[in-house]
Structure 1
Amino acid sequence: MRIFRPLLLGAAALLGAALGLSGCFTERQNEGGQIYASHCANCHGAQGEGLKRLIPPLAGADYLAKNRTALACLIRKGVQGPLVVNGIEYNQPMPAADSHLTDSQITNLLNFVQTSWGNEQEVFTIREVSEQLQACGASDGQ
């Protein structure tokens, strides 16, 4: 039994560490939805439905696929001027996320939008988002 005790203690420590790590990943898994709820839902709606002809919807938005390479910069820098979503022109400014969202948070936010409300777009990698942000001079490297 003495031989097995160190093995059991080691296995228990390993299991505890694994559970701690999975909790860390679980928290990050929901980060996109949490960011959306606190930063985006006031305008775009809790279900991405937008607001009539003032604020474009994100649910079922053709804009997401047509403008994939510009989405990270759109979040970081905001939008001024008209854009067309599902054939409807919108012309309300969207505020910039500038420095209050990191590159990884923008990635999680984009992936939440890409896979919510019937959207079935390809998810982003952190590298892809960072490259987009570097191209518009807005990457924070995080």
Structure 2
Amino acid sequence: MTARTVQVTVDCSDPRALSEFWCAVLGYVFPPPPPGFESWDAFSASLPPELRNSRSACEDPDGVGPRLFFQQVPEPKVAKNRFHLDVRAAPGLEGGERMRALEAEATRLIGLGASRVERHEPAPPMQAGHVVMRDPEGNEFCLD
């Protein structure tokens, strides 16, 4: 069997803005524009108005993490996600040190447009503690 890669697709109202947010969260970058275009803005300007900002993507510059693809949909988000991302902001840390690292990252992400939902304290033996957040369009994710 051939190895598979994963692309995470997000339905949203503003693909460019949401991809910029996630690039900043994860340290991702925009892929190169299509051949013949110096920038994504130049490519977008070549499209009919109704297709501009209909899609965007960001990628791990090291090629390790999954590609994120954002596609515009007409309907708003109305319910809790059944699938979410865990942003590993404090791997290997425990207790107070872990929670301080998660709080520092939560503060940074709020500055980028995220909102905080709730904090879950460490509860041994199964939970190390995490912070539930929402991206600018209300999609839940966790700082883990």
TM tier, shorter chain? under 0.3
If you compute each CA radius of gyration, which structure gives the higher value, 1 or 2?
Answer: 1
TM-score, L = length of structure 1: 0.26
Larger helix fraction of residues: 1
> Counting strand residues as a fraction of each chain, which structure ranks higher?
2
What TM-score comes out, normalization by structure 2 length?
0.26
